[in-house]
Structure 1
């Protein structure tokens, strides 16, 4: 990381080969803003000074001036502008923007002058070039596929070269690994009651909320119903139904054990809400590593909650109400393993009663 002439500005050489410039917000040593253009851009000074004030500006330069019209890089600029507008309209999350921006920048950095109408073989080459990180490789292909679908819809291109390109991540089918009861006990033994880590795990288990909602859920979402404290919230994920769950004693106790109160239950060591789900996810990863659970994540707790609900006899529709799913097929992704085990036990119990 090389210090540049602008106060608070740093230049970072990323593993992908791209260069990133970040600015420390004046008066907040712990916050940095990533600039969306480098020092050679005509709007760099404006972007820098805005970032020092805590504002992240976008460039106003059209895609045609940033890349050759009809090139792959040109399409990435257009598509990224589209995603940013969706985020502003509340149709996509900030996390989605950050993730896709990373892949789009990586794509155009590696292939700055490649033509937009590239063959399927080139997408396969890009995927295989990232084979050391199979999850990222598959997400890159997914980003390319989504970008070209948008390009076809808007008339910028006529063919999607990522259609039919298979995944290479062996674990992608099952997604995040569900936590076991022993995993939960191990985590809680490492992170005692009263810690933010303990509160976060309790919040995930007793609400089954997504990490995108865990960053902002707090006492403002609490309400009383028939003498019971409940939580009600509209998930940030698009098309998710409104969720209401009772605050059972473990969750109520954990939320009241916090020594510092803020807008949300989960706070940083500085008493602030986490600015993004990525930041909270990174913190959860550290908490898991401290407990020796390197293979687990926040989303795995949500999957565990779904399986445990089925194990305790809940129907698919009851699980849908807790997980905030509008379609049963979505809940089945979380519960089909436990559901099959429960049905198998029921069926074999009937055979057990037969005369042999």
Structure 2
């Protein structure tokens, strides 16, 4: 059971070049807004026609430019959950669900409405129900036709933060119960981590190598991947005479023999410790910094000279900072937490 998608599509100001296969249950596409995530889903669903390539689902060709094959969206057995759920405002919940019936238009949908916990609102209209209820209504409409795969396009972006997690858990429960394969598109790294087995990063219309989720978050190989997992500290590097290297963006020397075919150093803001004395790891004195106070942490913004360098951010617990003598503070980082990435 596999999805193969290798397609290209030219737009006026954007080029899509997607190449991936999927044999796991839950795949995530992680990328910034405008990177091509949603366009890719629409091509798989048949809502946008690629210029070239092929899309194959479980050995059935859905699209193949060389063979002039392009199966209609309604014949692809693909469920698509839109960001706005695509509910018709002038139809009730039950009527919206029934609109998804492709075959037996007179089918009794009561059991499915009860299963999705929307039977009690079946006579209400979309503007009378909550965001979570809208999502369950849209999912119910999709599941009636027993799709082979479900495409989730930023499914929680329209929900308030305080209900997002509970709705996410409920959606995953429904997906697991239905044994549905899914592709989730999101720019939220935590959401993708919780819901997916493997992750593909996408930037500027191009997909990168699929990785198991733990490997994706622990071992970024490119600048794009490092940014997507939340790293904000980046510097160009130059080798030094003693075989170590200099981070040019911050004006700091580090003691590690780097992988200098990769020209960028990435450091997570929570990879540091601080102390009143240098440690055996890489240490440098914090002689010019400001403090940003968060709810449960602090961010030290270090910059030796703002006319020459960029900021280096160090996140730590408030107690770790306040218990120190402020006359001389060192930032320390273990060599294993220095990450070298490719500039792409």
TM-score, L = length of structure 1: 0.24
Q: Which has the higher strand share?
A: 2
Q: Which has the higher contact order (CA 8 A, sep 6+)?
A: 2
If each structure's helix is expressed as a fraction of its own residues, which one has the higher value?
Answer: 1
> TM-score w.r.t. structure 2 length?
0.25
